[in-house]
Protein backbone atom coordinates (compact mmCIF):
# COMPACT_ATOMS: atom_id res chain seq x y z
CA UNK A 1 0.00 0.00 0.00
CA UNK A 2 2.81 2.39 0.93
CA UNK A 3 6.24 2.95 -0.59
CA UNK A 4 9.31 3.13 1.64
CA UNK A 5 12.95 3.77 0.80
CA UNK A 6 14.85 0.44 0.76
CA UNK A 7 17.24 1.28 3.61
CA UNK A 8 14.45 2.47 5.92
CA UNK A 9 11.53 0.03 5.85
CA UNK A 10 9.66 1.67 8.71
CA UNK A 11 9.31 4.99 10.52
CA UNK A 12 10.32 5.05 14.19
CA UNK A 13 7.55 6.70 16.20
CA UNK A 14 9.53 6.40 19.42
CA UNK A 15 11.19 8.85 21.84
CA UNK A 16 14.66 7.94 20.55
CA UNK A 17 16.42 6.45 18.74
CA UNK A 18 14.19 8.05 16.18
CA UNK A 19 13.86 8.33 12.44
CA UNK A 20 16.60 10.48 10.94
CA UNK A 21 17.01 12.15 7.56
CA UNK A 22 18.92 10.39 4.82
CA UNK A 23 21.49 13.20 4.87
CA UNK A 24 22.16 12.61 8.58
CA UNK A 25 22.66 8.91 7.91
CA UNK A 26 24.90 9.69 4.95
CA UNK A 27 27.12 11.79 7.22
CA UNK A 28 28.14 8.54 8.95
CA UNK A 29 29.91 7.25 5.85
CA UNK A 30 33.24 9.09 6.24
CA UNK A 31 36.00 8.23 8.72
CA UNK A 32 37.59 10.89 10.95
CA UNK A 33 40.81 11.11 12.93
CA UNK A 34 40.42 12.11 16.57
CA UNK A 35 43.74 13.96 16.56
CA UNK A 36 43.14 16.22 13.58
CA UNK A 37 42.01 19.83 13.73
CA UNK A 38 39.41 19.25 11.02
CA UNK A 39 37.60 17.02 13.52
CA UNK A 40 38.40 18.54 16.92
CA UNK A 41 38.30 22.22 16.03
CA UNK A 42 36.02 22.35 13.00
CA UNK A 43 33.43 19.84 14.22
CA UNK A 44 33.62 19.24 17.99
CA UNK A 45 34.27 22.82 19.06
CA UNK A 46 31.73 24.06 16.55
CA UNK A 47 29.10 21.72 18.03
CA UNK A 48 29.90 22.89 21.56
CA UNK A 49 29.42 26.55 20.60
CA UNK A 50 26.19 25.82 18.76
CA UNK A 51 24.74 23.86 21.65
CA UNK A 52 25.33 26.74 24.03
CA UNK A 53 23.74 29.15 21.56
CA UNK A 54 20.69 26.89 21.32
CA UNK A 55 20.41 26.76 25.10
CA UNK A 56 20.65 30.44 26.01
CA UNK A 57 21.16 34.00 24.86
CA UNK A 58 23.76 34.46 27.64
CA UNK A 59 26.36 32.34 25.88
CA UNK A 60 29.27 33.88 27.80
CA UNK A 61 28.06 32.26 31.04
CA UNK A 62 27.76 28.68 29.78
CA UNK A 63 29.83 25.91 28.26
CA UNK A 64 29.13 22.49 26.73
CA UNK A 65 30.67 19.09 27.41
CA UNK A 66 30.16 16.08 25.14
CA UNK A 67 30.20 12.63 26.75
CA UNK A 68 30.42 9.15 25.20
CA UNK A 69 27.47 6.78 25.69
CA UNK A 70 23.72 7.13 25.86
CA UNK A 71 21.97 10.02 27.54
CA UNK A 72 21.86 8.13 30.83
CA UNK A 73 25.67 8.11 30.87
CA UNK A 74 25.63 11.91 30.77
CA UNK A 75 22.99 12.04 33.51
CA UNK A 76 25.12 9.80 35.73
CA UNK A 77 28.25 11.79 34.88
CA UNK A 78 26.48 14.95 35.97
CA UNK A 79 25.00 13.54 39.17
CA UNK A 80 28.29 11.88 40.07
CA UNK A 81 30.40 14.95 39.33
CA UNK A 82 28.25 17.86 40.48
CA UNK A 83 27.06 16.80 43.95
CA UNK A 84 30.02 17.15 46.38
CA UNK A 85 30.67 14.78 49.30
CA UNK A 86 28.97 17.17 51.72
CA UNK A 87 26.06 17.84 49.35
CA UNK A 88 22.56 16.37 49.20
CA UNK A 89 20.40 15.81 46.14
CA UNK A 90 16.62 16.12 45.85
CA UNK A 91 15.20 14.17 42.89
CA UNK A 92 11.77 15.23 41.66
CA UNK A 93 10.21 12.22 39.99
CA UNK A 94 6.93 11.29 38.32
CA UNK A 95 8.14 8.49 36.08
CA UNK A 96 10.81 5.95 35.22
CA UNK A 97 13.51 8.45 34.28
CA UNK A 98 13.25 10.46 37.48
CA UNK A 99 13.35 7.15 39.34
CA UNK A 100 16.51 6.28 37.40
CA UNK A 101 18.24 9.43 38.66
CA UNK A 102 17.35 8.40 42.22
CA UNK A 103 18.80 4.94 41.55
CA UNK A 104 21.99 6.53 40.22
CA UNK A 105 22.30 8.58 43.39
CA UNK A 106 21.84 5.44 45.48
CA UNK A 107 24.49 3.48 43.54
CA UNK A 108 26.88 6.43 43.77
CA UNK A 109 26.19 6.58 47.51
CA UNK A 110 25.15 10.22 47.34
CA UNK A 111 22.99 11.65 50.08
CA UNK A 112 19.58 12.13 48.48
CA UNK A 113 15.82 12.10 48.90
CA UNK A 114 12.99 12.00 46.38
CA UNK A 115 9.86 14.07 45.89
CA UNK A 116 7.73 11.41 44.19
CA UNK A 117 4.51 12.24 42.34
CA UNK A 118 2.01 10.02 40.58
CA UNK A 119 2.73 9.44 36.89
CA UNK A 120 -0.33 11.54 36.01
CA UNK A 121 0.65 14.38 38.33
CA UNK A 122 2.97 17.31 37.77
CA UNK A 123 5.17 18.28 40.72
CA UNK A 124 3.71 21.18 42.68
CA UNK A 125 5.95 24.17 43.41
CA UNK A 126 4.31 24.75 46.79
CA UNK A 127 5.04 21.18 47.91
CA UNK A 128 8.59 21.44 46.60
CA UNK A 129 9.06 24.62 48.61
CA UNK A 130 7.91 22.86 51.78
CA UNK A 131 10.29 19.93 51.18
CA UNK A 132 13.25 22.22 50.58
CA UNK A 133 12.32 24.25 53.65
CA UNK A 134 12.18 21.12 55.81
CA UNK A 135 15.54 19.89 54.48
CA UNK A 136 17.94 22.86 54.48
CA UNK A 137 20.84 20.46 53.89
CA UNK A 138 19.65 19.84 50.30
CA UNK A 139 22.10 21.53 47.94
CA UNK A 140 21.06 20.24 44.52
CA UNK A 141 17.69 19.54 42.88
CA UNK A 142 17.16 17.44 39.74
CA UNK A 143 14.08 17.40 37.49
CA UNK A 144 13.17 15.53 34.30
CA UNK A 145 11.62 18.13 31.98
CA UNK A 146 9.68 15.79 29.69
CA UNK A 147 9.04 12.45 31.38
CA UNK A 148 8.56 10.07 28.46
CA UNK A 149 7.13 7.36 30.72
CA UNK A 150 3.82 9.09 30.00
CA UNK A 151 4.71 12.09 27.83
CA UNK A 152 4.10 14.59 30.65
CA UNK A 153 5.78 17.99 30.44
CA UNK A 154 6.77 19.18 33.90
CA UNK A 155 6.42 22.88 34.86
CA UNK A 156 10.00 24.03 34.37
CA UNK A 157 9.83 27.80 35.11
CA UNK A 158 7.74 27.32 38.25
CA UNK A 159 9.97 24.56 39.62
CA UNK A 160 13.14 26.49 38.77
CA UNK A 161 11.89 29.54 40.67
CA UNK A 162 11.42 27.52 43.85
CA UNK A 163 14.74 25.70 43.49
CA UNK A 164 16.62 28.98 43.19
CA UNK A 165 14.66 30.62 46.01
CA UNK A 166 16.15 27.93 48.27
CA UNK A 167 19.68 28.44 46.92
CA UNK A 168 19.97 25.04 45.21
CA UNK A 169 21.99 24.08 42.15
CA UNK A 170 19.42 23.12 39.51
CA UNK A 171 20.01 20.05 37.30
CA UNK A 172 17.62 19.51 34.39
CA UNK A 173 17.30 16.27 32.49
CA UNK A 174 16.15 17.77 29.19
CA UNK A 175 16.79 14.55 27.31
CA UNK A 176 13.54 14.60 25.37
CA UNK A 177 12.88 18.34 25.26
CA UNK A 178 16.10 20.16 24.35
CA UNK A 179 16.01 21.25 20.73
CA UNK A 180 12.30 20.56 20.45
CA UNK A 181 10.72 22.80 23.11
CA UNK A 182 11.80 26.44 23.39
CA UNK A 183 13.25 27.67 26.70
CA UNK A 184 16.31 29.61 27.83
CA UNK A 185 18.68 28.15 30.43
CA UNK A 186 19.51 31.55 31.89
CA UNK A 187 15.87 32.62 32.14
CA UNK A 188 15.07 29.35 33.98
CA UNK A 189 18.21 29.51 36.17
CA UNK A 190 19.33 26.05 35.02
CA UNK A 191 22.87 25.23 36.12
CA UNK A 192 23.26 21.89 34.32
CA UNK A 193 21.18 20.73 31.35
CA UNK A 194 21.53 17.19 29.98
CA UNK A 195 20.44 15.79 26.63
CA UNK A 196 21.68 13.41 23.93
CA UNK A 197 22.44 13.13 20.25
CA UNK A 198 19.41 11.04 19.30
CA UNK A 199 16.51 13.13 20.54
CA UNK A 200 15.09 16.43 19.29
CA UNK A 201 18.28 17.46 17.49
CA UNK A 202 17.54 14.33 15.38
CA UNK A 203 20.98 12.78 15.27
CA UNK A 204 21.82 9.12 15.86
CA UNK A 205 22.59 7.52 19.25
CA UNK A 206 26.11 7.40 20.63
CA UNK A 207 26.82 10.40 22.85
CA UNK A 208 25.18 12.78 25.28
CA UNK A 209 26.01 16.32 26.25
CA UNK A 210 25.82 18.62 29.23
CA UNK A 211 25.40 22.38 28.94
CA UNK A 212 26.62 23.91 32.16
CA UNK A 213 26.95 27.24 33.88
CA UNK A 214 30.72 27.61 33.79
CA UNK A 215 31.09 28.96 37.32
CA UNK A 216 29.21 25.90 38.66
CA UNK A 217 31.21 23.43 36.57
CA UNK A 218 34.43 24.90 37.97
CA UNK A 219 33.30 23.77 41.43
CA UNK A 220 33.20 20.12 40.29
CA UNK A 221 36.94 19.47 40.27
CA UNK A 222 37.78 16.22 42.12
CA UNK A 223 34.11 15.47 42.85
CA UNK A 224 33.66 12.63 40.34
CA UNK A 225 32.83 9.12 41.54
CA UNK A 226 34.11 7.66 38.25
CA UNK A 227 37.20 7.99 36.10
CA UNK A 228 35.38 7.82 32.76
CA UNK A 229 32.25 9.72 33.82
CA UNK A 230 34.14 12.72 35.19
CA UNK A 231 32.30 15.72 33.77
CA UNK A 232 34.92 18.22 34.92
CA UNK A 233 37.80 16.11 33.58
CA UNK A 234 36.10 15.71 30.20
CA UNK A 235 35.43 19.45 30.02
CA UNK A 236 39.01 20.45 30.86
CA UNK A 237 40.38 18.19 28.12
CA UNK A 238 37.76 19.18 25.58
CA UNK A 239 38.12 22.87 26.31
CA UNK A 240 41.75 22.85 25.17
CA UNK A 241 41.26 21.72 21.58
CA UNK A 242 38.05 19.73 21.31
CA UNK A 243 39.74 16.42 21.98
CA UNK A 244 37.87 13.86 24.06
CA UNK A 245 39.73 12.15 26.92
CA UNK A 246 38.95 8.70 25.54
CA UNK A 247 37.85 7.41 22.13
CA UNK A 248 35.39 9.77 20.50
CA UNK A 249 32.35 8.41 18.58
CA UNK A 250 33.57 10.28 15.51
CA UNK A 251 30.95 9.14 13.01
CA UNK A 252 28.10 9.92 15.40
CA UNK A 253 29.54 13.36 16.14
CA UNK A 254 29.77 14.22 12.44
CA UNK A 255 26.17 13.07 11.90
CA UNK A 256 25.12 15.30 14.81
CA UNK A 257 26.85 18.25 13.15
CA UNK A 258 24.70 17.57 10.09
CA UNK A 259 21.60 17.32 12.27
CA UNK A 260 22.38 20.75 13.76
CA UNK A 261 22.63 22.16 10.24
CA UNK A 262 19.22 20.72 9.45
CA UNK A 263 17.70 22.16 12.62
CA UNK A 264 18.88 25.60 11.50
CA UNK A 265 17.51 25.05 7.99
CA UNK A 266 14.13 24.08 9.43
CA UNK A 267 13.97 27.39 11.28
CA UNK A 268 15.41 26.53 14.67
CA UNK A 269 13.86 25.20 17.86
CA UNK A 270 10.62 27.19 17.54
CA UNK A 271 9.91 25.83 14.05
CA UNK A 272 10.68 22.28 15.15
CA UNK A 273 8.43 22.74 18.19
CA UNK A 274 5.58 23.84 15.95
CA UNK A 275 6.02 20.75 13.76
CA UNK A 276 6.06 18.45 16.77
CA UNK A 277 2.93 20.15 18.16
CA UNK A 278 1.12 19.73 14.84
CA UNK A 279 2.15 16.08 14.70
CA UNK A 280 0.85 15.50 18.21
CA UNK A 281 -2.44 17.31 17.70
CA UNK A 282 -3.15 15.40 14.47
CA UNK A 283 -2.27 12.16 16.20
CA UNK A 284 -4.51 12.68 19.22
CA UNK A 285 -7.47 13.90 17.19
CA UNK A 286 -7.19 10.99 14.79
CA UNK A 287 -6.64 8.37 17.48
CA UNK A 288 -9.70 9.58 19.40
CA UNK A 289 -11.79 9.09 16.28
CA UNK A 290 -10.45 5.54 16.07
CA UNK A 291 -11.39 4.78 19.68
CA UNK A 292 -8.07 5.37 21.48
CA UNK A 293 -8.05 7.63 24.55
CA UNK A 294 -4.92 9.61 25.56
CA UNK A 295 -3.69 8.67 29.02
CA UNK A 296 -2.84 12.23 30.11
CA UNK A 297 -5.09 15.30 30.24
CA UNK A 298 -4.29 17.83 27.53
CA UNK A 299 -2.84 20.40 29.94
CA UNK A 300 -0.05 18.01 31.03
CA UNK A 301 0.77 16.59 27.61
CA UNK A 302 4.03 17.33 25.82
CA UNK A 303 4.40 17.34 22.02
CA UNK A 304 7.14 14.70 22.31
CA UNK A 305 5.35 11.39 22.91
CA UNK A 306 1.76 10.41 23.73
CA UNK A 307 0.49 7.49 25.82
CA UNK A 308 -2.78 5.86 24.78
CA UNK A 309 -4.92 3.59 26.95
CA UNK A 310 -5.74 0.14 25.61
CA UNK A 311 -9.16 0.48 23.91
CA UNK A 312 -10.52 -2.82 25.25
CA UNK A 313 -9.67 -5.31 27.99
CA UNK A 314 -8.64 -7.93 25.44
CA UNK A 315 -6.50 -5.54 23.34
CA UNK A 316 -3.28 -7.32 22.31
CA UNK A 317 -0.54 -4.73 21.91
CA UNK A 318 2.03 -7.27 20.67
CA UNK A 319 -0.21 -8.28 17.77
CA UNK A 320 -1.12 -4.64 17.07
CA UNK A 321 2.56 -3.64 17.13
CA UNK A 322 3.62 -6.36 14.70
CA UNK A 323 0.84 -5.55 12.25
CA UNK A 324 1.55 -1.82 12.29
CA UNK A 325 5.28 -2.48 11.89
CA UNK A 326 4.66 -4.58 8.77
CA UNK A 327 2.78 -1.59 7.38
CA UNK A 328 5.68 0.78 8.01
CA UNK A 329 5.54 2.17 11.56
CA UNK A 330 7.25 1.20 14.83
CA UNK A 331 5.36 2.18 17.98
CA UNK A 332 6.47 1.96 21.62
CA UNK A 333 5.15 -0.20 24.46
CA UNK A 334 3.76 1.47 27.56
CA UNK A 335 5.76 2.14 30.71
CA UNK A 336 3.00 3.35 33.00
CA UNK A 337 2.60 1.36 36.22
CA UNK A 338 -1.07 2.21 36.86
CA UNK A 339 -2.66 1.53 33.46
CA UNK A 340 -2.27 -0.54 30.28
CA UNK A 341 -0.91 1.85 27.68
CA UNK A 342 1.24 2.11 24.59
CA UNK A 343 3.08 5.15 23.26
CA UNK A 344 3.48 6.95 19.95
CA UNK A 345 6.28 9.47 19.44
CA UNK A 346 6.03 12.64 17.37
CA UNK A 347 9.70 13.59 17.13
CA UNK A 348 12.43 12.86 14.58
CA UNK A 349 12.13 13.13 10.82
CA UNK A 350 8.36 12.82 11.14
CA UNK A 351 5.87 15.16 9.50
CA UNK A 352 2.09 15.61 9.50
CA UNK A 353 1.81 13.54 6.33
CA UNK A 354 3.42 10.64 8.19
CA UNK A 355 0.94 10.93 11.05
CA UNK A 356 -1.92 10.89 8.55
CA UNK A 357 -0.49 7.73 6.95
CA UNK A 358 -0.22 6.11 10.37
CA UNK A 359 -3.86 6.90 11.12
CA UNK A 360 -4.88 5.39 7.79
CA UNK A 361 -2.96 2.23 8.65
CA UNK A 362 -4.57 1.93 12.08
CA UNK A 363 -8.01 2.55 10.61
CA UNK A 364 -7.39 -0.18 8.01
CA UNK A 365 -6.71 -2.77 10.74
CA UNK A 366 -9.19 -1.48 13.33
CA UNK A 367 -11.51 -4.44 12.85
CA UNK A 368 -8.63 -6.80 13.61
CA UNK A 369 -7.78 -5.17 16.95
Q: Domains in the chain, start-ordered, CATH in brackets?
A: 11-20+268-368 (3.90.1150.10), 24-264 (3.40.640.10)
Q: If DSSP codes are grouped into helix, strand and coil, which group holds residue 91? A: strand
Sign of CA dihedral 107, 131, 75, 295: positive
Rounded Cα distance, 139 and 132, in Å:
9
Contacts 24+ apart (CB under 8 A), 285-291: 286/355, 286/356, 286/359, 287/344, 287/359, 287/362, 290/359, 290/362, 290/363, 290/366, 291/366
The vertex-360 CA angle with 354 and 365, nearest 5°, equals: 130
Residues ≥6 apart with Cβ < 8 Å to 20: 202, 203, 204, 255, 259, 348, 349
CB-based contacts of 141, cutoff 8 Å, min separation 6: 89, 90, 91, 92, 128, 132, 163, 168, 169, 170, 171
Give the angle 57-58-64 at the CA atoms, nearest 5°: 95
Other residues' Cβ atoms within 10 Å of the Cβ of residue 79: 28
Strand 293-294 versus strand 305-309 pairing type:
antiparallel
Cα separation, 257 vs 242, whole angstroms: 14
Given this model, what pLDDT does residue 1 score? 37
- Measured CA angle at 19 (ends 7, 269), to 5 deg: 145
Residues 342, 348, 354, 355, Cα dihedral to 10° = 40
Q: DSSP letter for 200, please.
A: T
Q: pTM score, two decimals?
A: 0.95
Q: Count Cβ atoms within 10 A of the Cβ of residue 222 and give its class: 0-12 exposed, 13-18 middle, 19 or more buried.
A: exposed
Which residues, in sequence order, are CB contacts of 185 under 8 Å at separation 6+? Answer: 55, 56, 58, 62, 193, 211, 213
To the nearest 10 degrees (0 to 180), the angle between helices 268-289 and 250-266 is 80
Q: Which residues of the chain have pLDDT under 50?
A: 1-5
pLDDT score at 6:
56
Query: What are the start-end ranges of the H helices in 242-316?
Result: 250-266, 268-289
Distance CA 237, CA 65 (A): 10
SS3 content of the chain, % helix, strand, coil (to 5): 45, 15, 40
What distance in Å separates the CA atoms of residue 355 and residue 341, rounded to the nearest whole number?
19
Amino acid sequence: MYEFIPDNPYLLLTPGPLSTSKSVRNALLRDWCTWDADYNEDIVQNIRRRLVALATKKIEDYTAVLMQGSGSFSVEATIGSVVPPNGKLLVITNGAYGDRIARMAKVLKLKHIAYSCFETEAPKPEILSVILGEHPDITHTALVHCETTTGILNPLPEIAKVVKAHGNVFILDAMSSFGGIPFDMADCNIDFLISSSNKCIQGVPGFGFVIAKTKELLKCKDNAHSLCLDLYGQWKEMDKSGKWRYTSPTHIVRAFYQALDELEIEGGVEARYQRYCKNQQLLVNGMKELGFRPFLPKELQSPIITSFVYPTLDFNFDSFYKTVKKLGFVLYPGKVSQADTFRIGNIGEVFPKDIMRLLEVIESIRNEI
